[in-house]
Amino acid sequence: MPDDKSTILVIGTGSIGERHLRCLQRIGRREVAFCEPMEERRADVALRYGIDASLVFPTLDEALSSAEFDCAVVAAPAPFHIPLGRQLAEAGIHILMEKPLSLSLVGVAGFRRLAADRGIVVAVGYVHHAHPAIRGVKEKLDSGEFGRLLEMRFDLGQPLAHFRPAYADVYFADHEMGGGTIQDMITHFYSVGDSLAGPVDRLVTHARHLALPRVEVEDTVHTLASHGGIMASYATNMFQPANEVCVTLNCEAGSLRASYQDRRFSWISEPAGEWQHESFALDDWDEVYIRQNNAFLDAVDGKGSPVVGLESAIRTLSVNVASLESARTQSWQNVSYES
Ligand SMILES: NC(=O)c1ccc[n+]([C@@H]2O[C@H](COP(=O)([O-])OP(=O)(O)OC[C@H]3O[C@@H](n4cnc5c(N)ncnc54)[C@H](O)[C@@H]3O)[C@@H](O)[C@H]2O)c1
């Protein structure tokens, strides 16, 4: 650990905040502090991660008035992201913001201006970009070997109640808190799609609640999208037993596939030929967050760029908003991007 170690503040230590805190401790590039308003949770996290009382705070206000931080992770629910982000940017603190950036575009342009004026790094936690299968297909696509991308298919699903038994008692149950499958889950892959095919210009979403008990928000989403003429389909549900992500890219000169469940990415160019595979090991999901968080710290230290930056996350927020509106009105939506 460096002698002159600066301190990173994790804001909110619920499910994902605790993961960030653990990953940042493993990375060891910063002293880790946190703020968490829930007293019992605050004490429990401090104890389990051995964090000194001088680095534990109930609120961001108290943290900012008591100590110095060069960067922060915002891991509170989505309605708080922009207000917390503004407070951090005002203080000149670099930000890794959890997804989604916000619930609507209100306040986003002002936040972008403020961040630019203060010269701070803003990364957004669309962590699937750091997954080895997604990195593998993106690298192959960018090599040009398979020609122009024509069509993408995202086929995703997971048993949310198994992974997160308290799903109905947290933000997921409420659109106004950033919940539902559009804002919580499929948004990750709208973001990946943007990086593979460019921005969405129009989309239509069919979203319904089919199976998850104790919530009314959509647990199943099918989106058809055009990324400047590249056709895409995104399908997911949050109740199927299998935890799966399969992304297929069909290009002029072959196809590429990322498969989380098979732990590999694959490619094929001969008609009716054999897929070729490259496997990867991923024993611990923390590894993906560690890659994302290291890239953020590299950017803060002036040595690289974040995995996903603010502009990309603003585009994905526009897609979330259009997707929700499409599901509500059962109509195609054009996606407009603020400049
Ligand atoms: N990238 C991912 O893979 C991923 C996974 C899960 C959640 N998330 C996102 O992370 C965010 C948090 O999700 P979660 O599952 O950890 O939720 P959570 O409900 O488990 O935890 C949120 C925590 O934030 C705290 N909090 C609320 N308001 C706060 C404030 N103003 N200041 C400080 N702390 C505050 C709460 O007390 C709670 O402990 C959401 O935006 C969610 O979409 C991202």
**Strand (E) or helix (H) holding 334:** strand 333-334
Cβ of residue 63 lying under 6 Å from some atom of ligand 1? no
Cβ of residue 166 lying under 6 Å from some atom of ligand 1? no
Average pLDDT in the chain: 97
Residue 5: per-residue pLDDT:
87
DSSP string, 136-189: HHHHHHHHSTT-SEEEEEEEEE--HHHH-TTGGGSGGG-GGGT-SHIIIIIHHH
* Cα separation of the two ends of the chain: 41
Handedness of CA 238, 24, 79, 187 (dihedral sign): negative
Q: Are 331 and 323 in contact (CB under 8 A)?
A: no
Mean pLDDT in residue range 241-269: 98
The residue with tokens 């051995």 is: 50
Cβ of residue 10 lying under 6 Å from some atom of ligand 1? no
The CA distance from 250 to 203, in Å, is 19
Domains of the chain: 7-127+291-308 (3.40.50.720), 128-282+316-334 (3.30.360.10)
Q: Are 260 and 285 in contact (CB under 8 A)?
A: no
Residue 335, pLDDT > 60, answer: yes
How much of the chain, in percent, has pLDDT values that exceed 90? 97
Cβ of residue 164 lying under 6 Å from some atom of ligand 1? no
Among residues 295, 1, 319, which one has the least CA distance to residue 121? 295
Query: Before 100, cis peptide (omega within 30)?
Result: yes
Mutate to test the pocket of ligand 1, among 9, 11, 15 (most ligand atoms within 8 A of CB): 15
pLDDT tens for each residue of 31-79: 999 999 999 999 999 999 999 999 999 999 999 999 999 999 999 999 9
Q: Are 169 and 160 in contact (CB under 8 A)?
A: no
Residue 1, pLDDT > 60, answer: no
Nearest CA to ligand 1 atom 30: 76
Mean pLDDT in residue range 137-151: 98
Q: Side-chain half-sphere of 334: how many Cα atoms within 13 Å?
A: 3
pLDDT tens for each residue of 283-303: 999 999 999 999 999 999 999
pLDDT tens for each residue of 105-143: 999 999 999 999 999 999 999 999 999 999 999 999 999
Q: Are 320 and 95 in contact (CB under 8 A)?
A: no
CA of 21 to the centre of ligand 1 (A): 12
Cβ of residue 313 lying under 6 Å from some atom of ligand 1? no
CA of 111 to the centre of ligand 1 (A): 20
- Residue 115, φ and ψ in degrees, nearest 5: -60, -40
